[in-house]
Amino acid sequence: MEELTKNIPKEERDLTGEIIQESDRGMTLVCTEVLNLELERLLKNKFALQEATKVKKFIEPMFRVGGSLASFSSRIVFAYALGYITEPLFMELERVRSIRNKFAHSSSSLRLNSPPIASIVAQCILGREIKALFLKVELLPTFYVGATKNASPERWHFFGVFTEINFELKTLRVDTTAGEHLSREFARIKKEYFE
């Protein structure tokens, strides 16, 4: 199974290793922020086609605190409204945002298998193959194995949703070199282990 990750860039493997070690709350917040940054990169790449003075004067301020594209929610809606992401991807991002909000705005001890969150995770379309992979501990790269003890299926489903959305957003960017590589690698893994 170590061969599954050998062609994924080290930065991606390191981030994945850190995410896996987090609590459900920490994992959700970190994954959501990674997706938020990928949406920002996607939108900025689309705006990069504008002349430099317009970008500096009008576009950059939109991404700052208080700007119209400063929040995860606004970036999701804007990317969808302009046709940069598909409706299914928009719906998955909205579910991820909803899960993130449940964790971020609750002082209760929540997990991804807690009833209010588990029902949202269950609605997610993406991530099912990755969840199945993580539930087969014997197939995991060694640095994931310790993190799988007592992990719920909902945790791995959410992680799978994050992984697939992250790959998809990378491929949608103008500079798609890393995204294309990751998508090819993910397609190879799916074919080898699930088809």
Q: What would the pLDDT profile of 67-100 be if each residue is shown by its tens digit?
A: 888 899 999 999 999 888 899 999 999 999 999 9
Residue the block writes with tokens 């960017």: 173
What pLDDT, on a 0 to 100 scale, did the predictor assign at position 72?
A: 95
The model's confidence at residue 34, banded by pLDDT at 50, 70 and 90, is very high
What pLDDT, on a 0 to 100 scale, did the predictor assign at position 195?
A: 52
What pLDDT, on a 0 to 100 scale, did the predictor assign at position 192?
A: 58
Pairwise CA distance, residues 24 & 118, whole Å: 12
* Domain regions of the chain by residue span: 2-194
CA 138-144-145 angle, 5° bins: 45
Q: Please give the structure tokens belonging to residue 115.
A: 């009833």
The model's confidence at residue 55, banded by pLDDT at 50, 70 and 90, is confident
The model's confidence at residue 65, banded by pLDDT at 50, 70 and 90, is confident
Pairwise CA distance, residues 167 & 91, whole Å: 16
CATH class in words for 2-194: mainly alpha
What pLDDT, on a 0 to 100 scale, did the predictor assign at position 178?
A: 46
